[in-house]
Chain A
Amino acid sequence: MAMNTYIAFTCQVAWGLATRLLTFCFRNLFRRKVRTALCVIGVTLATAFVITIGVTTMRYTTVIKEMNVLFNGQVMVASKDAIVIQAIPIGGSMLPQSYTEERLLGIAGVEKTVPVLFVTPVGASGISQLVPVNFSIGIRVEDWKALLGPTPLKGNVGHLPSNESGNEIVAGISIADQYSWTVGSELKINGYSLNVSGILDTKLAILARSIIMPLELAQNIYNYKKSVNIITVKPAKGYSQQNLAQAIEQNVTYVNALTEEERNDIIQPVLAQIEAWSLDIQSVIVLMSLILVMTVTIMSVSERRRDFATLDAIGAPMSYVFRAVLVEASLIGVFGGVLGIVLGSVFALALASFYTSIPISQFFPGAFDIVPPLYMVEILVAVIGVCCIGGIIPAVNAARMRIAEVLRAEY
Chain B
Amino acid sequence: MRIRAESLTRIYNMGTSKIIAVDNVNFDVSEEEFTAIVGRSGSGKSTLLNLIGLNDRPSSGKLLINNIDAFGLSNRELRKIRLRRMGFVFQTFNLFPVLSSVENVELPMALAGKSRETQREEAVRLLDAVGLGNRLTHRPKQLSMGEMQRVAIARALANDPEIVIADEPTGELDSKTAKEIIALLSDIHRTEKKTVIVATHDERVVEIVDTVYLIEDGKLTLETRQLQ
Contacts and interface: CB of A to CB of B under 8 A. Distances in A.
Contact of B90 (A13, A30, A310, A317): A310
Interface in B78-116: 79-84, 86, 88, 90, 92, 94, 96-99, 103, 106-108, 110-116
A404 B82 CA distance: 14
A404 B50 contact: yes
B115 A12 contact: yes
Contacts of B110: 13, 16-17, 20
B98 A317 contact: no
Nearest to B49: A404
Contacts of B114: 13
B6 interface: no
Among B47, B56, B106, chain A packs the most CB atoms within 10 A around the CB of B56
Contacts of B12: 408
A320 B107 CA distance: 12
Chain A's interface: helix, strand, loop or mixed, by majority? helix
Interface residues of A, number: 27
A312 B81 CA distance: 12
Among B84, B98, B113, chain A packs the most CB atoms within 10 A around the CB of B98
Nearest to B167: A407
Contacts of B55: 312-313, 402-404
Interface string A11-49: 011001100100010011011000000000000000000
B102 to A, nearest CB: 12
Contacts of A316: 79, 83, 107, 111
Among A20, A314, A320, A408, chain B packs the most CB atoms within 10 A around the CB of A314
Nearest first, the 5 A-B pairs at minimum CB distance are A315-B83, A27-B98, A404-B56, A315-B82, A404-B50
Interface of A: 9, 12-13, 16-17, 20, 24, 27-28, 30-31, 306-307, 310, 312-318, 320, 402-404, 407-408
12 contacts: A12-B116, A13-B115, A16-B110, A24-B96, A307-B94, A307-B97, A313-B94, A314-B88, A315-B80, A315-B86, A316-B111, A407-B50
Interface of B: 12, 46-47, 50, 53, 55-56, 76, 79-84, 86, 88, 90, 92, 94, 96-99, 103, 106-108, 110-116, 119, 155
